[in-house]
């Protein structure tokens, strides 16, 4: 069942969203060659806890980190490690969630490490643009399929491929709520969008095939062909005054 939020609940979600976005922005300031993904995870956890919140991902289904940190061909769910060191030219995906006052925020960015290839720059830009196109379709009377179709159309036009196995989702009291929000779809199909919906819209796009696989660690998802992947996510709410981006702070 889709959980529709009232104005008071959306106001409460703003706090979780702000902490989430600020934790991600703080981590971004530490991204540079020679830094470990565990160090970035420590920065994120420290920020969230100092803000009085809890990392949404820590312990979620047994996940050992406070954030998912994935490099290059790693799509999502990368486990932070002191042995994973960022190198010049990498692209690193940092996915953060914070829980406070009964609500979650969820946000992700793909961040270049130093100077990256033109292909990596284009991929990162395409992921962000596809998110913007998705938000344009997040309006009363549309359907969830309109969001997915907007993402897929934008990504395909850029020459890339959307991940189909992993998708966005509703969010609120629970980190993952209904409805599912695929990054592909048919316009006019799926649940109807209405005021009070809160979604985590998160395009995940690959240079090569859309196919992915999970590594033996039981978490890290990589592209099947080893090509680069980018991820862009925000928590958004639909109100009578329009869309509020709850996690956008940069």
Per residue in 203-242, pLDDT tens?
999 999 999 999 999 999 999 999 999 999 999 999 999 9
Q: Report the C-alpha gap between 219 and 98 in whole angstroms.
A: 20
User: Which residue(s) pair with 71 in the sheet?
Assistant: 92
Asked, for residue 248, whether it belongs to a domain, the answer is no
Asked, for residue 47, whether it belongs to a domain, the answer is yes
What's the first-to-final CA gap in the chain, in angstroms? 32
* Structure confidence at residue 249 (pLDDT): 87
Asked, for residue 224, whether it belongs to a domain, the answer is yes
pLDDT in tens, 135-186: 999 999 999 999 999 999 999 999 999 999 999 999 999 999 999 999 999 9
Q: DSSP of 133-161, one letter per residue?
A: HHHHT-STT-BHHHHHHHHHHHHHHTT-E
Q: Report the C-alpha gap between 210 and 164 in whole angstroms.
A: 7
Selection from 107, 93, 105, 98 nearest residue 37 by Cα: 93
**C-alpha of 51 from chain center:** 21
Contact 131, 233 (CB under 8 A): yes
pLDDT surpassing 90 at residue 250: no
Q: What is the CATH number of the domain that holds 193?
A: 3.90.230.10
User: Which residue(s) pair with 112 in the sheet?
Assistant: 91
pTM of the complete model: 0.97
* Structure confidence at residue 111 (pLDDT): 98
Per-residue pLDDT, averaged over 26-49, amounts to 98
Asked, for residue 102, whether it belongs to a domain, the answer is yes
Per-residue pLDDT, averaged over 30-51, amounts to 98
pLDDT surpassing 80 at residue 13: yes
Per-residue pLDDT band for 80 (boundaries 50, 70, 90) equals: very high
Asked, for residue 136, whether it belongs to a domain, the answer is yes
Per-residue pLDDT, averaged over 105-112, amounts to 98
**3-state class of 217 per DSSP?**
coil
Per-residue pLDDT band for 8 (boundaries 50, 70, 90) equals: very high
Asked, for residue 56, whether it belongs to a domain, the answer is yes
Parent domain of 17: 7-240
Q: Report the C-alpha gap between 21 and 36 in whole angstroms.
A: 21
Looking at residue 193, the DSSP 8-state letter turns out to be: P
Asked, for residue 80, whether it belongs to a domain, the answer is yes
pLDDT surpassing 80 at residue 243: yes
pLDDT surpassing 80 at residue 114: yes
**C-alpha of 67 from chain center:** 11
Q: DSSP of 41-79, one letter per residue?
A: HHHHHHHHHHTT-EESSTTGGG--SSEEEEETTEEE-PP
Q: How many domains does the structure of the chain reveal?
A: 1
- Considering the chain, what is the average pLDDT of its residues? 98
Per-residue pLDDT, averaged over 94-98, amounts to 98
Asked, for residue 247, whether it belongs to a domain, the answer is no
């Amino acid at each position: 069942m889709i959980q529709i939020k009232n104005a008071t609940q959306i106001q409460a979600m703003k706090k979780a969203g702000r902490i989430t976005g600020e934790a991600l922005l703080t981590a971004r300031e530490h991204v540079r060659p020679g830094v470990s993904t565990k160090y970035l995870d420590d920065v994120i956890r420290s920020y969230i806890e100092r803000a009085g919140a809890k990392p949404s991902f820590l312990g979620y289904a047994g996940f050992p980190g406070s954030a998912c940190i994935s490099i290059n061909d790693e799509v999502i769910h990368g486990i932070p490690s002191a042995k994973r060191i960022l190198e010049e030219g990498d692209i690193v995906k940092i996915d953060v969630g914070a829980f406070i006052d009964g609500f979650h925020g969820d946000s992700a960015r793909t961040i270049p490490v130093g100077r990256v290839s033109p292909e990596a720059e284009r991929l990162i830009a395409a992921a962000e643009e596809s998110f913007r196109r998705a938000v344009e379709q997040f309006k009363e009377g549309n359907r969830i399929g309109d969001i997915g179709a907007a993402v897929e159309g934008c990504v395909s036009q850029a020459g890339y491929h959307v991940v189909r196995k992993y998708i966005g989702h509703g969010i609120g009291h629970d980190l993952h709520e209904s409805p599912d929000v695929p990054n592909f779809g048919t316009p006019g199909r799926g649940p109807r969008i209405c005021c009070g919906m809160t979604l985590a819209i998160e395009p995940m796009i690959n240079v090569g095939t859309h196919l992915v696989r999970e590594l033996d660690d039981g978490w890290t998802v990589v592209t099947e062909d080893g090509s680069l992947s980018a991820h862009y996510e925000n928590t958004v709410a639909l109100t009578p005054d329009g869309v509020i981006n709850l996690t956008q702070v940069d």
